[in-house]
Structure 1
Amino acid sequence: MVTIHLKYQIDADKLADFEDYGRRWVRLVNRFGGTHHGYFLPSEGDSDIAYALFSFPSLAAYEQYRTDSMSDPECREAFELARRSRCIKRYERRFLRPLDGPA
């Protein structure tokens, strides 16, 4: 299993657009065989940082999702929403693996 951690720098004045973007991706990642663990939005502290976590069974499954999402109409609409609204200023992506479960 691989878990993808995304850290977003967002435009705090466009939070509603980012929320729309996030809701779309939760559904889309799940449709493509992943498990979305949610988006985490600013509350206290930094007003322009948000996070997302989602997992795929393997790095190969994640790479297939990335390839397939580029031609999927709903994914393209989500990409366009972020581009048009400029709700995302930048993002960082990390790949994590879970610690083995209890013995």
Structure 2
Amino acid sequence: MITCVLRYEVDADKLEDFEAYARRWIDLLPRFGGVHHGYFLPHEGANDIALALFSFPSLAAYERYRAVSADDPDCRAAYRFARETRCIRRYDRQFLRPLLAAAGD
């Protein structure tokens, strides 16, 4: 399994727009074989940093998702929404390999 961690720098005045964008992806990602672990929005501390975590069985599965989702009308609409609202200033992604508790631990 591979987990993608997205770190967003968001416009603090447009958090409602960012939340609307995030809700779209929580629903969209499972269509492509991923598991969304949620978005984590600013609460205390920096008011312009948000995180998202989602997993795929492998990096190859993630790459397939990227290729297929690029032509999906709902995904394109989500990207367009973010561009039009300018709720995201920038983002970066990192891939991590989760270490999970063994069954029964």
TM-score (norm 1): 0.96
**1:57 aligned residue:** 57
Cα distance in 2 between the residues matched to 1:57 and 1:36: 12
Cα distance in 1 between the residues matched to 2:52 and 2:14: 17
Partner SS state of residue 93, structure 2: strand
When structure 1 is superposed on structure 2, of 31-40 and 91-100 the one drifting more is 91-100
Structure 1: stretches of 5+ with no match in the other structure? none
Structure 2: stretches of 5+ with no match in the other structure? none
The alignment covers a number of residue pairs equal to 103
**Identical-residue share of aligned pairs (%):** 65
Runs of 4 or more above 3 Å deviation: none
User: Equivalences for 1:21-40 in 2 at 5 Å?
Assistant: 21-40=21-40
Partner SS state of residue 80, structure 2: helix
What root-mean-square deviation, in Å, do the aligned CA atoms of Structure 1 and Structure 2 show? 1.1
Q: Which amino acid aligns with 2:58?
A: S
